Amino acid sequence: MATAHISADKGDIAKTVLMPGDPLRAKFIADNYLTDVVMFNKVRNMFGYTGYYNGKKVSVMGSGMGMPSMGIYSYELFKEYDVDRIIRIGSCGALIPELKLFDLILTTASYSDSSYAYVQSGEESNILKPALSLNNHIEKVAKNEEIKLTKGIIYSTDVFYKENMTFDKIVNEYKCIGTEMESFALFHNANLFNKEAACLLTVSDSLVTKEFTTSEQREKAFLEMIDLALKTL
Ligand code: HPA
């Protein structure tokens, strides 16, 4: 039973799916952390794999960049594949000087000026939240593992390159600490189907200091986030 964008059968995908933006990161997780791995999707190279971590069944799949892409895949996973929870594991840009490169963030809410939620379902709120129970669980695991987590509101945007790159209103009025491009669509789709979602992010660049990380550095920071996400299973 394939969907428009995923070539899997229903039982092929676990109840919990970890979603990095980059499908090659999904492959990296499958190759390095999971056992008994089966690839369930390669349509458009948006690789998806199911395997086991410490005996627990889990799937990993790329979301692609931006809300239209995350919107499609999370919708099909929740609706057609009976997925119960999706944890996004992505990167973000820092909007406040206190956030340093490689810091790990747990998203407490997603503010967006995107039309995604309104166009999808008529949802008028521009602030959407992850599942509190899932966030609490992630926090508890991070504490046990002595992994430092910063909690905060994230600005989820449709536009990476803006002509006006000032974020004063987003920081001062909406209290956002970082920016990425997928969590708002993910949280909306989870709410739509009464499912759970969470969003972990590592800081890959700073819009305050204009620092950025190399892809090798990002890979290393990513490992801590993968560890945390897998240990929540
Ligand atoms: N802006 C939007 N999305 C991002 C960024 C950014 O600076 N960094 C990582 N994802």
Residue 128 inside a domain? The answer is: yes
Q: Which residues line ligand 1 (CB under 6 A)?
A: 91-93, 157, 160, 179-181, 204-205, 207
Residue 147 sits in a domain whose CATH number is 3.40.50.1580
Which atom of ligand 1 approaches the CA of 180 most closely? 3
pLDDT at 219 over 80: no
Number of domains in the chain: 1
Closest CA to ligand 1's atom 9: 92
| Domain annotation covers residue 3 | no
CA 12–ligand 1 middle distance (angstroms): 32
Rg (CA), the chain: 17
Q: Which atom of ligand 1 has the smallest separation from the CA of 207?
A: 7
In this structure, the residue with its CA closest to atom 2 of ligand 1 is: 180
Given a cut of 90, whether residue 217 has pLDDT beyond it is no
Could you list the residue range(s) of the whole structural domain that residue 45 is in? 16-231
pTM of the model: 0.97
Is residue 6 domain-resident? no
The residues carrying an active-site annotation are 205
pLDDT on residue 165: 85
The rounded percent of the chain whose pLDDT value lies above 90 is 94
In a domain, 4, yes or no: no
**What is the four-CA torsion angle of 167, 172, 177, 180, rounded to 10 degrees?**
-40
The verdict on residue 182 lying in a domain is yes
Q: What is the pLDDT of residues 50-83, one digit of tens each?
A: 999 999 999 999 999 999 999 999 999 999 999 9
155 assigned to some structural domain: yes
pLDDT confidence band for 149 (50 / 70 / 90) = very high
